[in-house]
Amino acid sequence: MTSFQLVYGHEAVVSAKITVPSLRVEKQKELSANEYSELMNEEMEETPETRLLALNHLQAYQSRVCGAYNKKVRAKSFAVDDLVLKLLFPIDQKDRVYGKWSSNWEGPFQISRITKGNAYYLKNKDGLESEKPVNGKYLKKDAVYKVEKVVPEVSSLLLSWTSIDLAVEVDAGRYGLELIRLQLILP
């Protein structure tokens, strides 16, 4: 069903078919004016039904598209005092020493206030609140890991250093293992 047919009630005839007679054009020429008018009226009576059918198909298609889109979207919501990481903007602010291996996220920040429209005010570790709110799509929850057990040999080694970098593999669920870099700063 074409859009022309939905608007005018019958199919469009291309001008090339009029100059080069087709079977359809020849049959229309054989009809009298009254017969042609009756056929056009019959087609116009069927038009509301075809329009409703087209509208139903359009609504079904839109609901399928909406369902497919919403299946992939996951809403992010944070509460006050949650720890989050903020996406670095613009890319020029990244540390040039590490190049492409520099972090895309900075933080952790603590959420201090929530405003309308999924926007959050953040506090840094010094307790200073940001001047502008940050959209929730540029935030992600910061994972806090608790050390269960420290081996005595390792704890005696740690006393001789002021800081240490660790690389830890963490199970990230269905995404497999994730490598996390930690820096421990000792007093």
Nearest alpha carbon to residue 51 among 123, 2, 118: 2
Q: What is the pLDDT of residue 111?
A: 92
State the number of CA atoms in the 13 A half-sphere of 123 facing the CB: 13
| Residue 130 and residue 88 share a domain | yes
Q: Which range marks the domain in which residue 183 is found?
A: 145-187
**What are residue 21's phi and psi, to 5 degrees?**
-60, 130
Residues 78, 67 within the same domain:
no
| CA–CA gap between residue 176 and residue 150 (Å, rounded) | 25
Domain limit, last residue, from 12, 47, 72: 72
Across 36-45, 87-96, 115-124, which has the greatest mean pLDDT? 115-124
Whether 2 shows a pLDDT value over 70: the answer reads yes
For residues 63 and 88, membership in a common domain is answered with no
Residues 63 and 96 in one domain: no
Whether 48 and 93 share a structural domain: no
* 160 in the same domain as 187: yes
Burial class (CB in 10 A: 0-12, 13-18, 19+), 120: buried
- CA-CA-CA-CA torsion sign (14, 19, 25, 30): positive
Question: Residue 5 CB: number of other CB atoms within 10 A?
Answer: 16
Q: Tally helices (H) and strands (E) across the chain.
A: 5, 7
Q: For residue 166, what pLDDT band results from cuts at 50, 70 and 90?
A: low
Report residue 127 as tokens.
Answer: 């307790």
Q: What pLDDT shows up at residue 60?
A: 95
CA distance 140 to 119: 13
How many domains does the chain fold into? 3
pLDDT band at 92 (very low <50, low <70, confident <90, very high): low
